[in-house]
Amino acid sequence: MNRSRLLVFASGTKDGGGSGFVKLTEAIRDGVLQADIAAVVSNHERGGVWEKARSLGISFIHFAKPWNAGRYQEIFQMAQASHIALSGWLKMVSGLDPRVTVNIHPGILMDGPGEFGGHGMYGHHVHEAAIKAFQEGRITHSGLSMHFVTEQVDGGPVFFRCHVPITKEDTPDSLAQKVNAQEHRWQSVITNLVVTDQISWDGENPKSLRLPDDYEIDAWV
């Protein structure tokens, strides 16, 4: 079986970011993730992701406007990738193969985007919404979800969730740190199940989702 080539999309910031991308490269080095990084993509030309890619010796692709289906497909083909990981990518996605494109989302998704997914629900916005829901007594946990990517924002089949408890002392910032720690713990492990075809689907019917025997979608901290 040929080794998978993973194309990582990570926005980062002008000054930093890209920690999830770095964790993926470390997991490859440690044998946790059985793939190679084809390239990393960022919308910041000389930002934090570019700096990390340069230090790691990984090909970097600057993806400026327009973020349309044709450009996504062009980058995917140029990188000669087999799989795609969205790891803190903050732009709308279209035109990518939903069978091989996965996203890690900093909130709990159930069947569809729900309250903590969809348009506008990314990054700190998710953590603010989770704290508000906790204060209103509607939830006790936030967390992360991993799912296949379709044209509906956060609407593809979810194949992993990690539930992180919220405490009354938590703020959006502290919750973000707790969730991010679990993202770093789980992203490479679960991505490996996708690139080795242990988690898959047909790209159209959510009921086609195939998981390993005795696999648990939900993990709890």
Q: Are residues 117 and 78 in the same domain?
A: no
Are 61 and 159 within one domain?
no
Q: What pLDDT does 139 receive? A: 98
- Residues 91 and 109 occupy one common structural domain: no
Structural domains of the chain, count = 2
The CATH code of the domain that includes 8 is 3.40.50.170
Query: What type of residue sits at position 7?
Result: L
According to the model, what pLDDT value does residue 1 have? Answer: 61
Q: Which pLDDT score, from 0 to 100, does residue 111 have? A: 82
pLDDT value, residue 96: 98
**Last residue of some domain: 42, 66, 96?**
96
Same domain, 109 and 12: no
CA distance 77 to 68: 15
DSSP states along 146-172:
EEE--SSTT-SPEEEEEEEE--TT--H
Percentages (nearest 5) of helix, strand, coil residues in the chain:
35, 20, 45
For the chain, residues with pLDDT lower than 50 are none
Q: Which domain holds residue 111?
A: 104-221
Do 154 and 71 fall into the same domain?
no
Q: Are residues 109 and 18 in the same domain?
A: no
Task: Give the C-alpha separation, 83 to 24, whole Å.
Answer: 13
Q: Note the pLDDT of residue 2.
A: 82
Note whether 123 and 155 are same-domain residues. Answer: yes
In the chain the beta strands, taken as DSSP E runs, fall at 4-9, 35-42, 60-62, 83-86, 101-105, 141-148, 158-165, 218-220
| Of 96, 114, 145, the domain-final residue | 96
Helices (H), 57-159: 69-79, 124-135
Domain boundary among the residues 68, 96, 124 is at 96
Distance CA 115, CA 88 (A): 19
Q: Would the pTM of this model clear 0.85, i.e. be above it?
A: yes
Statement to judge: residues 71 and 110 lie in one domain: no
